[in-house]
């Protein structure tokens, strides 16, 4: 009998992030406390987001609005990697990235967790930005899924 397996991946639904960004942009253009501050949010490439404003605190507030929209769309804030506001002339800019995939150090921690605390017959292999977990018994895999869901 062949081994059963599952993959541990970290992918974000780009359409949901785009919807959250569009909602945040609409709110930034309509809210009274953002009037006259030239605050905006937009894509900068495939995975990068730029928030611009005339005031540093309004740029931070724009980032918070975007975070709220991500939370409403059930997207974890762990995928958002935002920098500190940077001054460029008269305006402030915050650059943020949407993280995709599992970084190698995090993948090693997950594989170690599976080896140490998981059932005995389970093997974890790191394959690029994902982890393949395999075992002869499906019950062991289900235990492993429960273990990973319980961990952070």
Q: How confident is the model at residue 24 (pLDDT cuts 50, 70, 90)?
A: very high
φ, ψ of residue 62 to 5 degrees: the values are -65, -40
Q: In the predicted model, what is the mean pLDDT of the chain?
A: 92
Q: Which pLDDT score is estimated for 1?
A: 57
Strands 80-82 and 48-53: unpaired
Q: Which pLDDT score is estimated for 88?
A: 84
Q: How confident is the model at residue 152 (pLDDT cuts 50, 70, 90)?
A: confident
Average of per-residue pLDDT across 6-34 = 94
The string of pLDDT tens digits covering residues 58-115 is: 999 999 999 999 999 999 999 999 999 999 889 999 999 999 989 999 999 999 999 9
């Amino acid at each position: 009998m062949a081994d059963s397996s599952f993959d541990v991946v970290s992918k974000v639904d780009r359409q949901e992030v785009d919807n959250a960004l569009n909602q945040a942009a609409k709110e930034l253009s309509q809210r009274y406390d953002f009037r006259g501050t030239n605050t905006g949010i937009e894509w900068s490439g495939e995975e990068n987001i730029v928030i611009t404003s005339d005031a540093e605190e309004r740029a931070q507030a724009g980032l918070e609005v975007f975070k709220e929209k991500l939370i409403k769309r059930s997207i974890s804030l762990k995928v958002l990697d935002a920098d500190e506001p940077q001054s460029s002339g008269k305006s402030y800019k915050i650059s943020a990235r949407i993280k995709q995939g599992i970084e190698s150090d995090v993948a090693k921690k997950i594989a170690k967790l599976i080896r140490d605390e998981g059932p005995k017959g389970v093997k974890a292999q790191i394959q690029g930005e994902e982890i393949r977990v395999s075992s002869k018994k499906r019950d062991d895999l289900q235990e492993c899924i429960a273990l990973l869901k319980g961990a952070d």
